[in-house]
Amino acid sequence: MASHHGHKHGDHSAAFDFAEAAPRFKERAAAEAAKYRRLAERLTAPGDRVVADIGCGAASMAFALAEVLPDAQVAAVDAEPAMLDLVRERAAETGAAVRAAQASVDDADALAAAVGGPADLLWAGHVIHHAADPQAALDNLAGLLAPGGRLAIGEGGTAPQYLPWHVGVGDPGLELRLIEAGSRRLQGETHEHGSTPLAYGWNLALERAGLTEVREVNELDATPAPLEGAQLRHALESLRTRADWFEHYLSEDDKAAWSRLLDDNGPDWLGNRRDLRHLSIDTYFIAVRA
């Protein structure tokens, strides 16, 4: 993931502290392993030999690719040393042949060295929108593909929603304001990083990068209430993480409401409710180098 610096919201930087967040990334990777395995199976081809997970975070896709393509060279690429330490830790624990390499999506030369050769498949999940110049980042990635190689990016979609419109704590629309706070934090990141967001869709951006056969895939997760077991734990952790990350973009009333709802020793704890569900859309785009 790209590093971000500079613009502040009050006395607060919009940039993430990746070292502090690493344990949460690891927990989320474990929860999403099956999803990434399915996605890796969908994106890969039997002849793929050089593949990479760009802006990898905890490298969920890299480990899925290593499982699906045991004979391939798999690189997990990130700009953040804390994420690469996490990748190495997971590789040691699992025995997976995943190589960690440091590079930002903004650094074309470092990115080429990290990938290590013309790539059959590059995956960039929710990272290109962090680039200083997203179109230039896509151009760079497209140039790293072998003829017939594919670039797949996870961009767009919808933020997950778990709660009823009104939960009886705070004002109605609490979760919608949390999503909006995330959007404002992202806006703060773009200011810090000096980024210029795309003014057109990702399909057009991939075409402008010289790629062909661009297609969009949308995957709906619509798990009805009540969430239970691992699904409930994942929902609570997702809400807790976002309420923490977006804290400085929430009103005092909303922060107080989230504190009550996420207190597992309190009377309003969300884990005791039977009306949580999961609704989200994951969107990704796939394009080919002719």
pLDDT of residue 193: 73
pLDDT of residue 28: 72
Alpha-carbon gap, residue 33 to 28, rounded angstroms: 9
Q: What's the whole-model pTM score? A: 0.87
pLDDT of residue 196: 85
Cis peptide before 226 (omega within 30 of 0): yes
pLDDT of residue 104: 95
- Enter the CATH code of domain 8-288: 3.40.50.150
> Which runs of E-coded beta strand occur in 157-230?
158-161, 212-223
Which positions of the chain have pLDDT values less than 50? Answer: 1-9, 14
pLDDT digits (tens, 9 = 90+) for 121-131: 999 999 999 89
> Which runs of E-coded beta strand occur in the chain?
8-9, 12-13, 50-54, 73-78, 98-102, 119-125, 145-154, 158-161, 212-223, 278-288
